[in-house]
Structure formats: C-alpha cells, structure tokens
Amino acid sequence: MRKKTVWVAAILVALFVAAGFFVISQANISALPKPGGLETSIAAPLRNWLIRRAAGGPIPPAPPATPEAVSQGANMFGMACATCHGQSGRHPTAIGSGLYPRAADLASPGVQELSDRELFWVIKNGIRMTGMPGFGHTLTNNEIWQLVDFVRSLPHQPRIP
Ligand code: HEC
C-alpha cells in the first residue's frame, strides 16, 4: 500500500516537472509583441504596489519646483532619458518602443498619477526586468528632483513630436 503511494507521488512529481519544462520550452522571449492584456493586468498593479511601498522609505526632501528647475530637468532629460522616451517624453523612440514592456508615455495618466516621491524613486532606482534604468549612481538627488519637476510639467506643455 505504502509502496503504491510512493509510486503515485513519484509519477505526479515527474508529470509536474515535465509540464514545467513544457511551459518553459514554449515561452517566447521575443521583445516584439506588445505585452498581453492578462500579463499587463497582473504586472502593472504589482509594479505600482511595489513602487508605492518602496517610495514609503526615506526620500530626500524636494527643493522648490521653480521654472529654472523644470528647465534644468528638460536639459537632463534630453541627455539621460530621450534615447527611450523621446525628446518630448511622450513618443517613445525606436529603442523605447522596441523594449518589452514599452517605454512609457510620461504625460499619460498612468505615469502622472504616481506621486512625486514615487517618480523620484523610479528615476533613482529604475524598474527591474524592464528597460527602465536606475540613475542613482550617475545623477544627484537634486538632478533627479529636477527631472521629476520636468516630468510633472509634461501634460501642461504644448504638444511637440
Ligand atoms: C533604456 C531605455 C530607458 C531610458 C534611457 C529611460 N527609461 Fe524610463 N522607462 C523605460 C521603460 C521601458 C519604462 C516602462 C517600465 C514599465 O512598464 O514598468 C519606463 C518607465 C518610466 C517611468 C514610468 C514608471 C511607471 O511606474 O509607470 C518614468 C517616470 C520614467 N521611465 C522616467 C524616466 C526618466 C526621467 C529617464 C531619464 C533619467 C528615463 N526614464 C530613462 C525605459 C527607459
């Protein structure tokens, strides 16, 4: 009786491992398709929740968002971010739209509904397993706040391509 149970368990484990290998062997690693609806509906809320939690930690205080800060942020954006997000921040380049997931339109409601602290955290740390790099080693906190000010200004700027 006990021997039979062991056999059944061994067969179940073997089937489980075989099914796992099958699923992995069918995975598509091409970056060309747009992430599917099911994947996005699971990954996006999880990402937002993780960002919200992480941004609850210590974040340096924001200097005032003056017009000078926005314009400094725009310069920095051209050097560090436009490669993927496009010069306007709204139309991802060929590189940005070839990533999986796509580089975000930074004026879109999905991005603008992030808090200033969350934007700061994303720019400083990046988002693992996406193309979004972390700039914490290359930009100062002040420069990152200027970028936050620039991203915030996007919905109010005239539409440029
Ligand atoms: C190498 C390409 C690349 C560069 C360079 C890049 N990004 Fe991104 N960025 C991405 C991708 C891809 C995403 C989408 C990530 C996702 O869907 O979770 C993204 C998402 C974002 C988001 C939205 C995050 C969210 O949770 O919705 C912000 C804000 C952002 N980037 C700001 C910036 C800023 C500011 C810079 C420059 C300092 C920058 N990015 C540089 C690829 C890039």
pLDDT (tens digit, 9 = 90+) per residue, 146-158?
999 999 999 988 7
At the top level of CATH, the class of 37-156 is mainly alpha
What pLDDT does residue 161 have? Answer: 53
What pLDDT does residue 150 have? Answer: 98
pTM: 0.90
- Residue 103, ligand 1, Cβ within 6 A: yes
**pLDDT surpasses 90 at 160:** no
Where are the strands (E) in the chain, listed by range?
none
Q: Would you state the structure tokens that stand for residue 122, as one six-digit string?
A: 């994303």
How high does pLDDT run on average in the chain?
Answer: 95
Name the closest-CA residue to atom 37, ligand 1: 81
Q: Would you state the structure tokens that stand for residue 26, as one six-digit string?
A: 């069918």
- Residue 154, ligand 1, Cβ within 6 A: no
- How many angstroms is it from 123 CA to the middle of ligand 1? 7
CA distance 124 to 137: 8
What pLDDT does residue 66 have? Answer: 97
Name the closest-CA residue to atom 29, ligand 1: 119
CA atoms within 13 A on the CB side of 123: 29
Q: What are the sequence ranges of the domains in the chain? A: 37-156
**pLDDT surpasses 90 at 129:** yes
- How many angstroms is it from 127 CA to the middle of ligand 1? 8
- Residue 148, ligand 1, Cβ within 6 A: no
- How many angstroms is it from 152 CA to the middle of ligand 1? 14
pLDDT band at residue 110 using 50, 70 and 90 as cut-offs? very high
**pLDDT surpasses 90 at 159:** no
What pLDDT does residue 2 have? Answer: 85
Cβ contact 44:113 at 8 Å: no
Q: Would you state the structure tokens that stand for residue 91, as one six-digit string?
A: 């139309």
- How many angstroms is it from 44 CA to the middle of ligand 1? 14
What pLDDT does residue 1 have? Answer: 66
- How many angstroms is it from 77 CA to the middle of ligand 1? 11
48-104 pLDDT, tens digit each: 999 999 999 999 999 999 999 999 999 999 999 999 999 999 999 999 999 999 999
